[in-house]
Each structure stands twice: as C-alpha cells, then as structure tokens.
Amino acid sequence: MKKIIIVLLIMALALAAVSAAAEESELLGKPFEDFTATDTEGNTFTLSEALKDHEAVLINLWATWCGPCQNEMPYLENLWKTYGDRVAMIALSSDPEDTTEKITAFREEFGITFPMGRDENRALAGRLNAPGIPDTVIVDRFGNVGFYRVGTFFTYEDLERTVTVFLGDGYTETRILTDIPKDSSTRTFPVSAKRAVYVENENAKKVLFHFDEDEGEPLVCYIVPEDKARIRIGITAADDPDTMLYGDIWADSLEVSKLLDPQRNEYVYEQAVQGEADGVAYHYGYGILMDMMNGDTIEIILTPDEQYLEEIMQSLAASNLHNITWEYAEEEKESELQAYFIHVVDQYDEPVAEAVVNFCTDTACVPAEADENGLITFDGAPDKYHVQLIDLPEGYSSDEDFEMYTGTEYGEWVLRVKKD
C-alpha cells in the first residue's frame, strides 16, 4: 500500500516543484532574448521575425519519450489550426538524443503540422532553467514573456484561455499570467472554511497514525464497518474544483467539480472500504485529495475493522523505516456559519468589489453588495433564496442565464464572473 502512496506523493511533490518554478520565474514581464531554430522541414524560425506578423509566439520544450508532452500535443495542434494566423508556434525537443529523424517520425505518428525542431545544445532549456518538461513560454507582441508554465496543460480549454489573453486589439501593454485563467462563464461553487476530507458514516471511527521523528501531520485513517464510506470533501474559496482531484485507489481519479451534489450543495463521493488487485484481497481503501496546480494533498486510509490497523501500521513502518503508533481521535468540528457568504471573483481569481446581488424569496428581494474584497455577506433568516446577479462594476460581465439558489442553511460560495 505504501508504495502506491509514495508514487502519488512523488507526483504531488513534482507538481509543486514545477508550479513554483514557473510562478517564481524571473523571465515574466521581461524581453525574451531573440533566438533562431531550424525545424524538421529545414525552415528557419526566428523569434523577432515571427513577432512581426503575429500577435504572440508560443514556444514549447518537450521530448519524444515524454508522456505528458505527448498528452498535450493534440491541444497544441488544435491551437495551431485555430489560431495559427495570429500565434506563431514552435516545439523544440530539449533531449540531445532526439534527432531530426526521431522528431519527424514523432510528427507523423501524432499528426502534427506546426513547426517542430531541436533545442540545439539545450540553449533554451538552459535559459529557462526548468526542472522538467514540457515547458511552455508565451512571448507577447511586445517581445516580453507573459506566461511561463512548467508542466502539461490538462485540457485544450486551459490552453486556449491562456493564449487568448494575449490576443486582440485590447492588448495594449504586457500582461503577466502566473496561472491559467479560469473558465469565465458565470457560475458558483460551494466552499468551506478549510480544505478537508470527512467520512460521514455514523459509526465510523477516526484514527491517527503517528510517525516517530516526523513533525508533519499524522496520517488519518477511518474504521468504517460498512462496504462503502461516504466521503465529503471541503475546498476553500482559494481553490478551483476543476483543478483538484480526488483519487480512489480502487477506482478512477475525478475532478472535485464532478462530485458536486446539487441537492446537498456539497462535494460527496462513495468509496469502497476494501479492494482487490490481481486476485489479492486488501483490507483497506486509500483516498487522496490533490491540488493539481501546486501538488498539495490530503490523504486518508479506510479499513473495515480495528484488527487490520496493525497490518496497515506494519506496512507503513516497513516503507518509512520509522516506528509508528496510532490512537483514536475526535473529528474536528467545522466552523458554523452565521450568514450566507459569496466571494465574487473574475477568471483570474481577482476579487470583484461593488458587485450587487438580490437574495429573493417568493415574497421579497433584499440587495447585498460586495465589499472591497469581493465578499458579499447576507445574514437574513435561513431560507432557500434565489440569488440574482443584478449589477457589476464597469469592465465586468455575466451570463444572462446564470441561476443560483442557496440551501435552507447558511453556506459559502465562490461566484465567478468575467473580466472583459
């Protein structure tokens, strides 16, 4: 079991490292040094020349053996077909063993039509000083780096939203993106005071595994004497449910956004307490909540009976070379809200002040306005309110068909609108 946990944690740490590297890059907002490369067709690509007749340039560093690079190639190809007249693109392999012949074969296998070539002597890779691949750099029309990402794009929509920030007549000065812009369609999602994973079964018991000489958080386990554990996931206003995953060792990983129960206004999931692999029965389940943007995780172990705790503990101890102890623990109390709270943000997660909504019942509507932090607070009596977005400050817009209803209990949401 611990082997699987270690693999997931290594992946999380790697994501955290590449995310931090991109966010802290000194390249952002500065001119990108001119360079020339030769593609597989023998054509010369020069950054300064490409900028003369394009609104932006996208540079991708990759390698033929890189799985994540392969995953995002269809997105880059789609971008080229849609925006190639406005965005110049070139993908350069930073692996010295990727010959022109290898890259040509790769292009044919994956049906790539945009320019590809070699990063000779790893010149660009050295300039970026990136800890991994793929890497994506967007140079804007002014020759400055507006975006730098280490790691793959998870969807084409993410890639398109990022690139189109740098296009259009409204782009009059360099803009720096440290993250992928969120979907700008008007929508809401429930949030909590803190990020957490809870087991809701009434007869579940919480156990903490403590590792000697380890000052970190204990590993949480739940004893659930049923076939399924009812999992509830809490995310904060700073989180994006589309870029957070819940992984179940015996099933697929799912975006948290897909776990929303609209009736409960909460993210919920039913998880097997035990499982089987290769004909071997295991007396445990394992879940991990992972922020794919920075690698942060919350882990839980599930088991049907106390008798298996010793088995789990021995497995953990063998992998960690630490003494491990366990104890029962009380479930932490969640903060009790005393009002309805709505955080109004744009697609760049910037707060939107002065947004106005109505909290309506069948008999009356009460307006409430966002403060300087984009927070709307409404302390009317608990009821099922129809929340109507009635006004936004200049420069922002919303979808006309936006609908939102609260539950009959106080709650907290993020409301995303569009910065035009």
Alpha-carbon dihedral 324, 329, 335, 336, rounded to 10 degrees: 160
Two structure tokens written together for 89: 């693109």
Q: What number is the average pLDDT over the span 150-162?
A: 91
Kindly report, residue by residue over 57-77, the tens digit of the pLDDT. 999 999 999 999 999 999 999
pLDDT of residue 320 exceeding 70: no
pLDDT value, residue 1: 44
- Say which residues have a Cβ less than 8 Å from residue 354's Cβ, sequence separation at least 6: 369, 370, 391, 392, 393
**Mean pLDDT (the chain, rounded):** 89
Q: How confident is the model at residue 8 (pLDDT cuts 50, 70, 90)?
A: very low
For the chain, the domains span 29-164, 196-329, 337-419
pLDDT value, residue 213: 61
pLDDT of residue 158 exceeding 80: yes
Phi/psi for 308 (5° steps) reads: -90, -5
pLDDT value, residue 311: 81
Kindly report, residue by residue over 348-380, the tens digit of the pLDDT. 889 999 999 999 999 999 999 999 999 999 999
Residue 146 and residue 140 in contact, taking contact as beta carbons nearer than 8 Å:
yes
The architecture that CATH gives domain 29-164 is 3-Layer(aba) Sandwich (3.40)
Two structure tokens written together for 300: 């839980």
CA 180 from centre of chain: 9
Peptide bond between residue 134 and the one before it cis (omega within 30 degrees of 0): yes
Do 337-419 and 29-164 fall under one CATH topology?
no
Q: Which fold has domain 337-419?
A: Immunoglobulin-like (2.60.40)
Kindly report, residue by residue over 93-131, the tens digit of the pLDDT. 999 999 999 999 999 999 999 999 999 999 999 999 878
pTM of the model: 0.72
Kindly report, residue by residue over 298-318, the tens digit of the pLDDT. 999 999 999 998 888 877 777
